[in-house]
């Protein structure tokens, strides 16, 4: 993998990654103007931070394909590229956030990073349709971003994710993901870290997951967790615990990238339509070694023409109600024709 780091006209960093074809000369940088990041406020009942970023209200919303900012010549001022990463123009977290207001609840600066990861210059596609080489390059990009962002003194947790489909609120359809680097450990990974401190949870499950298996590569498994909170939820995890993909070997990274592509292909084939989902990377917080990295796919279709909505019990009480048994979901995904 090769990498070039540039600075855009508005001061944001742009990272270009490639395996075979280095980028040529840049064209004009037409998209510029960084919005101000917001601040944090403490929720005293839930004991967690809430990020406020009101300038994100003005972010790009469903532009026509000809005006897509992630196509070549937009945020990436090159005629072609392989994988690109840049600081979000409308960040929730930033290196130089605004000073927080003084209130009767605790506040703090929204220090950190918010990055966009553009998988391909093609306007249409997915993790399933990328070439194997492009997926493997993308896996190395994630590995590189983890290492660089975790080295920042203000960052305590790095979170790559992908929102896919209008059903989950996506406003730009070009294949891409995001990375948030937080100045604190968010609630879910904090709870997972506590669980992994107590026991080797995923390793204990491993021997009993055959009925929940969706696909596999050497040392890696894609499976529906027996405690899934979403219909057709899929996890991808290595058999041996890793704190994050920054400790993967090249062979493990390649297998990981291939398995992600197969999972997306199976989800898309399940109802013969692109599956809207959230893909979330769950890695160790900074300084934590006892953790079992895994990726969670949370699909939003419970049937071909029915969305899974988070309703009162999920949003109001945090108690999930699932319409599809995990065993049946795993069998359906395992047997789907791709």
Distance from C-alpha of 129 to C-alpha of 132, rounded to nearest angstrom: 9
Residues with Cβ < 8 Å from 113, sequence gap 6 or more? 87, 91, 93, 94, 95, 149, 152, 155, 179, 180, 181
Distance from C-alpha of 112 to C-alpha of 180, rounded to nearest angstrom: 8
Largest CA distance in the chain: 57
Pairing of strands 113-118, 83-87: antiparallel
**Which residue is catalytic, options 176, 242, 282, 292?**
176
Cα 50-52-58 angle, rounded to 5 deg: 145
Q: Is 39 a catalytic residue?
A: no
Q: Considering Cα of 290, then 314, then 229, then 253, what sign does the dihedral take?
A: negative
- Which among 155, 187, 159 is positioned nearest to 45, based on CA atoms? 187
204 CB-contact burial (10 Å; exposed 0-12 / middle 13-18 / buried 19+): exposed
* Cβ neighbour number for residue 227 with a 10 Å cutoff: 10
Distances (CA, A) of 63 to 47, 60, 67, 237, 294: 38, 7, 6, 36, 33
Distance from C-alpha of 116 to C-alpha of 151, rounded to nearest angstrom: 19
Distance from C-alpha of 231 to C-alpha of 309, rounded to nearest angstrom: 11
> What is the C-alpha R_g of the chain?
20
Say if residues 87 and 149 touch (Cβ distance below 8 Å). Answer: no
Cα 141 to the chain's mean position, in Å?
12
Active site members:
176
């Amino acid at each position: 993998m090769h990498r070039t780091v540039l600075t855009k006209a508005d001061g944001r960093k742009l990272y270009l990654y490639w395996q075979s074809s280095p980028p040529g000369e840049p064209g004009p940088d037409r998209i510029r103007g960084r919005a101000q990041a917001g601040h944090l406020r403490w929720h005293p009942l839930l004991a967690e931070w809430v990020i406020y970023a009101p300038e994100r209200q003005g972010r790009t919303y469903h532009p026509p394909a000809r005006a897509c900012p992630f196509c070549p010549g937009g945020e990436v001022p090159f005629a072609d590229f392989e994988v690109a990463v840049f600081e979000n123009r409308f960040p929730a977290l930033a290196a130089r956030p605004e000073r927080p207001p003084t209130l009767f609840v605790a506040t703090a600066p929204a220090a950190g990073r918010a990055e966009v990861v553009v998988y391909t210059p093609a306007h249409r596609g997915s993790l399933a349709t990328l070439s194997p080489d492009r997926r493997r390059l993308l896996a190395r990009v994630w590995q590189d971003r983890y290492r660089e962002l975790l080295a920042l003194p203000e960052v305590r947790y790095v979170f790559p994710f992908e929102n896919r489909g209008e059903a989950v609120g996506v406003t730009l359809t070009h294949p891409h993901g995001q990375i948030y680097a937080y100045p604190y450990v968010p609630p879910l990974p904090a709870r997972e870290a506590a669980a992994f401190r107590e026991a080797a949870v995923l390793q204990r499950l491993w021997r009993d997951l055959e009925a929940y298996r969706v696909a596999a590569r050497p040392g890696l498994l894609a499976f529906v967790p027996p405690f899934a909170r979403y219909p057709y939820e899929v996890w991808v995890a290595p058999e041996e615990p890793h704190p994050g993909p920054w400790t993967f070997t090249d062979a493990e990274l390649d297998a990981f990238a291939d398995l992600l592509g197969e999972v997306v292909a199976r989800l898309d084939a399940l109802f013969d339509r692109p599956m809207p989902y959230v893909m979330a990377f769950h890695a160790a917080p900074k300084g934590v070694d006892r953790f079992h990295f895994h990726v969670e796919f949370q699909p939003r279709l419970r049937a071909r023409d029915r969305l899974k909505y988070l309703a009162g019990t999920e949003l109001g009480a945090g108690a999930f109600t699932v319409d599809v048994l995990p065993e049946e979901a795993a069998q359906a995904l395992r047997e789907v024709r791709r």
